[in-house]
């Protein structure tokens, strides 16, 4: 059976080359062809000998997820829908800004953690994405953007930043996500800076410690509530890893992190977590961890049961944090006309779990 070379990081490619009797430098060449140049056909790899190309084509494939849809929003935000087989689909979003281009990458088909305000969470969980399916999102984005703007300066149109903020909980798919992160950082592949790759987690404490050891990149933590009673409701994994443990894990993470702060994400839900009292409570919590805040206006989806906080409420909330000396940004809603805004990514998830508590516990391990 053929192996998919998109599943391999540099080390695994060296191993593969050894198995087929090739020197390690071939792995570097393959990495460049596949990831830097977006080549999926061995026949196009012009500096590999014909014999090697033939050998590769019988032992291996380069198979990204199938691209089944692409949309561009009025503000330039792009969204790609990729099929990952068996009726499942995932979404990837590209957000161009003047000085950077950010790709929002999915890590799972659905999510078992069932945060109540999240469209992905509502859909249940099907499976983890493979390395090829995770890195394949960056592969497609780079390839599509490069082809479309051929000949024009790459600035503003290339992926300079990756945020693992698409569908799924990245730390619940740890090994595959870390291998994909290794490829994002590898100079022969995508060569992104560690500071420009962000993992966003709802707070899987043991996996945060493992990430610190294996591949410390920038970290965003989905906080969303200033106390356990409320967070237990919004982010059910809090019942397993409550706020105090989460903040301790953040401090441990910072010892190895490429940035000297954690970004706390806080979705603004009207009448739920957006009062002045909540803001003051948050200020007290934040005193224990070097952090910045990113307030996210809630993005609605059908039957969510929540409403977005008013712009006024968001401003007042932000002002309390800022007056306490906490750097606070309000996330601009991008791409909402193509359902590409945070928490709106739905893809196509055939739920296998019916969100049983067993699935929740498995994902949390």
**Is 103 within 8 Å of 137 (Cβ atoms)?**
yes
Phi, psi dihedral angles at 85 (to 5 degrees): 85, 160
Q: Which is nearer to ligand SF4, 62 or 167 (CB)?
A: 167
Name the binder of 165 from ligand SAH, ligand SF4, none, CB < 5-8 A by kind: ligand SAH
Determine the Cα–Cα distance for residues 32 and 49; give it in Å rounded to an integer: 16
Q: Pick the piece of the chain touching ligand SAH (CB under 6 A) from 33-41, 65-73, 111-119, 205-213.
A: 111-119
Contacting ligand SF4 (CB under 6 A), which of 64, 101, 168, 335?
Answer: 168
Q: Considering the rule CB under 6 A, would residue 113 count as an interface residue with ligand SF4?
A: yes
CA–CA gap between residue 324 and residue 309 (Å, rounded): 21
* CB count in 10 Å sphere of residue 100: 14
Is 150 a residue of the active site?
A: no
Burial of 74 (0-12, 13-18, 19+ CB in 10 A): exposed
Q: 262: closest CA among 276, 252, 275, 272?
A: 252
Range in contact with ligand SF4 (rule: CB under 6 A) among 13-21, 42-50, 110-118, 313-321: 110-118
Residues in 163-222 at the binding interface with ligand SAH, rule: CB under 6 A: 165, 169, 200-202, 222
Strand, helix or coil for residue 128: strand
Contact between 199 and ligand SF4 by CB under 6 A: the answer reads: no
What does the alpha-carbon distance between residue 213 and residue 248 come to, in Å, rounded to a whole number? 16
Tell whether residue 263 is a contact of ligand SAH (CB under 6 A).
Answer: no
Distance (Å, whole) CA 327 – CA 312: 18
**Side-chain half-sphere of 107: how many Cα atoms within 13 Å?**
26
Q: Is 264 exposed, middle or buried (0-12, 13-18, 19+ CB in 10 A)?
A: buried
CB-closest chain residue to ligand SAH: 343
d(CA 18, CA 22): 5
Q: Least distance (Å) from ligand SAH to the CB of residue 223? A: 8
Instruction: Give helix then strand counts, H and E, for the chain.
Output: 12, 14
Nearer to ligand SF4, 93 or 145 (CB): 93
Minimum distance between the CB of residue 136 and ligand SAH, rounded to whole angstroms? 18
d(CA 35, CA 198): 20
| 222 three-class SS | strand
Binding ligand SAH (rule: CB under 6 A), the pick from 91, 182, 186, 265 is 265
Strands 78-83 and 125-128 come out as unpaired
**CA–CA distance, 98 with 167 (Å, rounded to integer):** 26
Note if 63 is an active site residue: no
Q: Please report which helix (H) or strand (E) contains residue 229, including its range.
A: helix 228-234
**Candidate list 126, 238, 299, 328; residue touching ligand SAH; CB under 6 A:** 299
Q: How far apart are CA 15 and CA 43, in angstroms?
A: 22
Per-residue string for binding with ligand SF4, 200-239, x by CB under 6 A? --x-------------------x-----------------
Whichever of 45 and 199 has its CB closer to ligand SF4, that residue is 199
* 317 binding ligand SAH? (CB under 6 A): no
- For 156, left (φ over 0), alpha (ψ -120 to 50), or beta? left
Check residue 91 for interaction with ligand SF4 (CB under 6 A). no
Q: Is residue 17 marked as binding? A: no
Nearer Cβ to ligand SAH (33/94) = 94
Q: Which of 22, 91, 133, 265 is catalytic?
A: 91
**Partner from ligand SAH, ligand SF4, none contacting 114, C-beta within 5 to 8 A by type:** ligand SF4
Q: Which does 269 bind (CB under 5 to 8 A by kind): ligand SF4, ligand SAH, none?
A: none
Residue 303 CB, nearest distance to ligand SAH (Å)? Answer: 12
List binding-site positions for [4Fe-4S] cluster. Answer: 111, 115, 118
List residues binding ligand SF4 (CB under 6 A): 111, 113-115, 118, 120-121, 168-169, 202, 222
List binding-site positions. Answer: 111, 115, 118, 168-169, 200, 222-224, 299
List residues binding ligand SAH (CB under 6 A): 117-119, 165, 169, 200-202, 222, 265, 267, 296, 298-299, 342-343
Catalytically active residues, by annotation: 91, 342
């Amino acid at each position: 059976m053929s192996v998919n070379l998109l599943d391999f990081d540099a080390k695994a490619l060296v191993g593969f080359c050894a198995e087929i009797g090739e020197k390690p430098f071939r792995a570097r060449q393959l990495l460049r062809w596949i990831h830097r140049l977006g080549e999926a056909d061995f026949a196009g790899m012009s500096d590999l000998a014909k014999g090697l190309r033939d050998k590769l084509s019988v032992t291996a494939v380069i198979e990204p997820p199938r691209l089944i849809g692409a949309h561009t929003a009025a503000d330039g935000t792009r969204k790609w829908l990729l099929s990952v087989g068996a009726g499942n689909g995932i979404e990837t979003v590209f957000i161009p800004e003047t000085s950077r281009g950010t790709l929002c990458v999915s890590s799972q088909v659905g999510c078992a953690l069932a945060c109540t305000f999240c469209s992905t969470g509502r859909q249940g969980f099907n499976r983890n994405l493979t390395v090829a399916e995770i890195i394949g999102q960056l592969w497609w984005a780079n390839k599509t953007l490069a082809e479309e703007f051929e000949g024009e300066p790459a600035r503003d149109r290339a992926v300079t930043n990756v945020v693992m903020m698409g569908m799924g909980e990245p730390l619940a798919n740890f090994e595959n996500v870390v291998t994909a992160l290794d490829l994002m950082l590898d100079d022969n592949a995508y060569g992104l800076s560690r500071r420009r790759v962000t993992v966003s987690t709802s707070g899987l404490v043991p996996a945060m410690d493992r990430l610190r050891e294996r591949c410390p990149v920038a970290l965003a933590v989905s906080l969303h509530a200033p106390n356990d009673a409320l967070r237990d409701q919004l982010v059910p994994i809090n019942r397993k890893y409550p706020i105090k443990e989460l903040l301790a894990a953040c401090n441990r993470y910072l010892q190895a992190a490429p940035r000297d702060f954690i970004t706390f994400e806080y979705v603004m839900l009207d009448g739920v977590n957006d009062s002045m009292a909540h803001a003051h409570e948050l200020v007290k919590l934040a005193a224990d961890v070097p952090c910045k805040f990113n307030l996210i206006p809630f993005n609605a989806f059908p039957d969510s049961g929540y409403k977005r906080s008013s712009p006024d409420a968001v401003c007042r909330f932000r002002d309390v944090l800022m007056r306490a000396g906490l750097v606070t940004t309000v996330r601009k809603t991008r791409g909402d006309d193509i359902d590409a805004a945070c928490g709106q990514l739905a893809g196509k998830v055939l739920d296998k779990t019916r969100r049983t508590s067993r699935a929740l516990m498995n994902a949390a391990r």
